[in-house]
Structure 1
């Protein structure tokens, strides 16, 4: 019979690392948005419009990346939770202590 094990503390650490990275990306996106907004206050014309369009596209792409990171984080959290629940159920079923 195959034996599988999962490193729940490593999964928890990965989730923590993802939380830190998500927070950092959110902070950077806000900082870039603020800086870009300040640039366009004194900038006008076709070049300013092109910059604004490019920046908006970049922000959209970055937000999608952030959404994917958040989805990955949720999937890993669900996986960790399910493995922990399965481990506990098996221990109870076989009378093993936690």
Structure 2
């Protein structure tokens, strides 16, 4: 097995309460996003979060679970959406249409 240099990454999760859970890790180079999440202790801290449906990114850009990380990356775990954005837009448009004066 080759000797790979270590990388430093952080894993963050913004909770609904406004608090931010953080873990700073030193991992082998080539570690994937999912491996970093698992190594961070996130599963133990948030057992209700389904990692099979993991939505995460690096510095605000969505990335797949198998994306390799680089030194200094910040892995951001996203909360599941509470609503469908398209449905929300449709409802707002309907509401505006009802309020606007007829021509």
Instruction: Tell me the TM-score range normalised by the shorter chain.
Output: under 0.3
The TM-score with structure 2 as length reference comes to 0.24
The TM-score with structure 1 as length reference comes to 0.25
Please say which structure displays the higher CA radius of gyration. 1
Higher helix share: 1
